[in-house]
């Protein structure tokens, strides 16, 4: 294969893997985040779903932008080994960024949930 073909192959694999991981993580966060948000918003489903939708849109926008910015490479692969090495670095960075974004979201949502619990009125004991 010539250098241009290897570069196109690398870009295609990078986009396929990065988009697949981003979509998988986004869907998982969306599904798993709803109960967490429901608790944070005291069972207000409308608010929890709205925030969940806004979070997932922001997640996808930031990750898509980052992936596109990180797509170009100053070095073009000359061999199949170069393709694998470039992909491991590129995809690795995308996965690290996804992990950092996930941790930031958890910290923010936990602060929201904890702050929400602090302002929640005390529950009454059950009637006998």
CB 116 within 8 A of CB 40: yes
**Closest Cα partner for 26 from 63, 66, 75, 72?**
63
Residues 27-84 have pLDDT tens digits of 988 898 888 888 888 889 999 899 899 989 988 998 888 888 877 777 788 888 988 8
State residue 120's pLDDT score.
52
Which residues, including other chains, have CB under 8 Å from residue 40's CB and lie 6 or more apart?
48, 109, 112, 113, 116
Confidence of residue 116 (pLDDT cuts 50, 70, 90): low
What residue segments make up the domains of the chain, in order of their start?
A: 3-108
Would you call 29 exposed, middle or buried from its count of C-beta atoms within 10 A (0-12, 13-18, 19+)?
buried
Q: What is the pLDDT of residues 87-97, one digit of tens each?
A: 888 888 888 88
């Amino acid at each position: 294969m010539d250098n241009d073909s290897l570069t196109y192959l690398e870009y295609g694999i990078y986009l396929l893997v990065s988009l697949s991981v981003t979509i998988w993580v986004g869907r998982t966060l969306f599904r798993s985040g709803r109960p967490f948000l429901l608790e944070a918003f005291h069972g207000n489903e409308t608010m929890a779903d709205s925030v969940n939708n806004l979070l997932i849109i922001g997640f996808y926008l930031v990750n898509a932008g980052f992936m596109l910015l990180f797509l170009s490479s100053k070095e073009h692969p000359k061999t199949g080994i170069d393709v694998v090495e470039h992909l491991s670095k590129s995809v690795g960075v995308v996965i690290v960024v996804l992990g950092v974004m996930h941790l930031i979201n958890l910290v923010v949502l936990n602060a929201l949930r904890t702050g929400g619990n602090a302002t929640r009125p005390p529950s009454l004991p059950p009637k006998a």
